[in-house]
Amino acid sequence: MIDFLAHSSPYLILGTAVIAVLGLGIVFYAIAKLLIGGSRLSARLEQVIEPIPEVDNNPLEKQIIGREITGSLFSRTVESWVYKFLGFLGRFTPEKSIAALEHKLEIAGHPKNLHARQFYSLQFLFLLGGIGIAYFLNRDISAINTTNLLYGVASIFVFYELPVVWLNRQMRARQEEIERGLPDVLDMLSVCASAGLGFDQSLQKISQHWDTELGREFLRVTGEMELGETRSDALKNMRNRLDVKDLSQFISIITQAEKIGMSYAEVLQSQALQMRMLRQQRVRENVNKLPGKMVIPMALLIFPAILAVILVPIIPVIMNAFK
């Protein structure tokens, strides 16, 4: 063993030491969780398995209701430990970069219930994975070449950027879903306003019956207004949370209409018509982009097959002509 360590590269020794320390840390953490949470787990199991004792009809005695266990075993054990570990790593995140990332996560709807510190921890773990791949590609110092170095640098960069790319896709998907659903919501708001409901009551109706991203955001707006926020402030908070251009324009017009005393029904009808026209224009724009997008797959897949069908029968004739 001593001879093996003496003839090994320092990078190999360092990598082995890091992997060993991480493995021992995970084992000690699991043992600690089992020792600390064993009594709690057994108590909860006994509470679920044992029948609830009958309660006397004496109203003076306090009735004790057993707590129900929610969620799967995986979500209550492994997933909970992972989030705690990410939260621990997130403590070392610089405060200056948290606000911007938290805003992006809020636009994306906090996918997987991730916050800024946990996301930075996840990105750090991906970076470690990329460094590990780069190390295994270049672990033999005597056989290092330019190709392996490029592959190592590319693996580090790709693994570091994977969480960022995933977050950007989540942001765009949620914003596009809100843009598609906004004309329908405005139609329903205009119908409610024409039926005699106020703007606040119309928002409440929409939020109660529309289980979409925009419906849940309107539910949050009505909740903020019930807690004392003004309508304009609650709508501005939603505009800052989502950062959708069409929704920001609609909120600006509604806020201006409230200041000058215009009728909500007329404003909502005009906005619904305008949003439908914008949605039709976006659909036509996407349709017009399809021929350009089809050029690459046609050039790579269809044209070579056509050329093969046309040229293969001519090859024997050409070969006979040159004999």
Share of the chain above pLDDT 90, in %: 12
Question: Quick check: 167 pLDDT over 90?
Answer: yes
Mean pLDDT of 98-109: 87
DSSP state of 300: I
Whole-number pLDDT of residue 145: 79
What band does 26 get if pLDDT is binned at 50, 70 and 90?
A: low
Is residue 265 within 8 A of residue 194, CB to CB? The reply is: yes
Whole-number pLDDT of residue 22: 63
Whole-number pLDDT of residue 299: 81
How many residues are listed for the chain in this entry? 323
CA distance 1 to 175: 58
CA distance 229 to 235: 10
Q: Residue holding tokens 């004392």? A: 228
CA distance 264 to 189: 9
Q: What is the pTM of this model?
A: 0.64
Is residue 213 within 8 A of residue 247, CB to CB? The reply is: no
Share of the chain above pLDDT 70, in %: 70
Question: Quick check: 165 pLDDT over 90?
Answer: yes
Whole-number pLDDT of residue 296: 84
Which is higher by pLDDT, 315 or 216? 216
What band does 31 get if pLDDT is binned at 50, 70 and 90?
A: low
- CA 177, 181, 264, 224 dihedral sign is negative
What band does 286 get if pLDDT is binned at 50, 70 and 90?
A: confident
CA distance 232 to 256: 9
pLDDT, averaged across the chain: 77
Whole-number pLDDT of residue 48: 46
pLDDT digits (tens, 9 = 90+) for 222-261: 999 989 888 889 999 999 888 898 899 889 988 888 888 8
Which is higher by pLDDT, 310 or 96? 310
